[in-house]
Structure 1
Amino acid sequence: MGGEISEGEGVVRSLDLAGVSAVLGVCDADVVLLGAAALQGEVVTQQAGDCVLITGCYGFSFRASFTLPEDMSLVAYIHDTAPQSWCHGVGLEPGSAITVLPEGDSEVLLVAGCRWTLMLLPAATLRAEFAALSPDNPEPSAHRLRMFIAGHAGEARSLGDGYDTLRSRLESGESAGELVAPLLRRHLAATLGATAEDRPVSSRGRRAHYVTVRRVEDFMRANLRRDIYIQELCNAAGASERALRYAFDDLVGIPPNRYLSLLRLCAAYRSLTQADASRRSVKSVALSCGMWDLSRFAEHYRHTFGELPRATLVRSQQGELAGH
């Protein structure tokens, strides 16, 4: 079921969930699938000095949260996506340019077919370029570098062309290292030049839905080992059951009970693939994720990931032994 990225650069055509989580290379993303689907995708990665260049497209929808290491930053561009994709609850659309600094968690939801290109680079490199462009206010902040839609004004008009060129280079296997510095400069200049109309905003209702979903998910994760009832989720969100369902339908496209089931399954997958897999059993993992019926757990797990949990555990144990 797993695909691999070679030590230098390569293409992934079939992924396991751990591979999706680790695609950034330096940070561990917490991924929740939003339905049962073949984990198929295409990812090309290339090392360019101290930067990592990645372009890809997944054939499945997922929600991911991650925190960058203190010495790393990320710039990204969305080539194509459906309206359901978002970053921190703010809708993504083709042409979305995103800057992520190493301050706090980042959260995205990407629907199947979303195409993106990103550059993962040292935070010091981004800070130096930012200071050169903004000498009067040289310290970058998440507020000043928040997401915008390229194509409306100034330097933004050519930013998409720059990312298209980078993507084409990566997909053809050509070296793209010389594109990093000018594209980063163009990305930051376009971000600083973006106007209010270039920056997407969420409605008050959408922001409220995002807060509701985050509160409920935090409650789910804190109580994953036990049965969780819908009234408890309503209490955690401070919302009625109807409002809760509206929020989940808007943000993740599935009901809260279905999201809880997928959250449990993805947590189980994560546990089965962790480094200490040799000290785990399928039963202990299932129970730790609040799944008491082991036969139903195995059935739902196979439906979601395409293999039985035992197969995932065995593969992880073999990989652990091979590493010694």
Structure 2
Amino acid sequence: MDVPAHVGLRTSDMAEAREFCRNLYYGTLQIEPVGDPGRLEFSADVARLGPITLGDIRYGTDIHVSIGALETSYHVLVPLTGRLRSQHRGATVLADPTRAVVYRPTGDIELDWPASCRLLSVKVERAALERELDAALDQRVVSPLPLGASFDLVDGPGRTWAALVRLLLTELTAPDTLVSRPRMAARWRDMVVSGLALTVEHPYGEEPAGLQGPHRPRTVKRALDAMNADPCRPWTTRNLSAVAGVGVRVLQDAFRRHVGMSPLTYLRRLRLDEVHAELSRSDPGRTTVSEVAYRWGFTHLSRFAGAYRARFGRTPSQTLRDRP
């Protein structure tokens, strides 16, 4: 079970602030002062909880931020004060307390961040949000998700989601709260991910050509729910078909038609995503690739390594060693 972790920093040293953000968010992150560097008053409270990283951050002086080749996560910035100018994938967004900016895991990011801006920074691992939207819509989705570049914070689900994130971060950074207990934290974590999946703008439901998949029959949904609820279980096609209430061949045909792969291929992809997420946030001095692989049901390490590299373009050991 994921255990919440909180870290904070107050500093007037730009190099220290830069290293703090690189370690917790992205190794490619570049931060350069635009205003007076002597006025830097960096302040950050950041909490990690499984696939999400929440931060309350301000710099106290004008800065420019560049993030190259975002690939591993979706990201949302919610200004609490001031206005942020963002450029990503050809779109410019002026984010302020009335509008959040959203980043897909593809392409570079450029931010003009003024001294007046304090914001909530929400990082969600790619696989976690994609699985949640896939389940919420009960249909196939493409990766990366074609999300809108921003959403409203004044009315509707955006306001509720931002309030949820802010409350969760406050509770995770305070001592001895109910949310700091792993079981409760896991429920709040799931609410943040599922809430974001239902808040962001996306084309699903409008049936854009080539994007919308068919709605899945109940038998397929039962098998998907079972695998997502317990991916470590040694599932076979036979006991998945029993869960679904149909024969093996019927389930396999339904999966190929409505999911695009066999049940066990889906299960392997699900487990690989979980391994990738755990390696990305683990300490290489305390964790080994084999431990994580075995924990998620991979018993043949050479086959696992080949499948991992085919899916993520790098070896498991590289992910563990080069974690953000």
Give me the TM-score of the superposition, normalised by structure 2. Answer: 0.50
TM-score scaled to structure 1, two decimals? 0.50
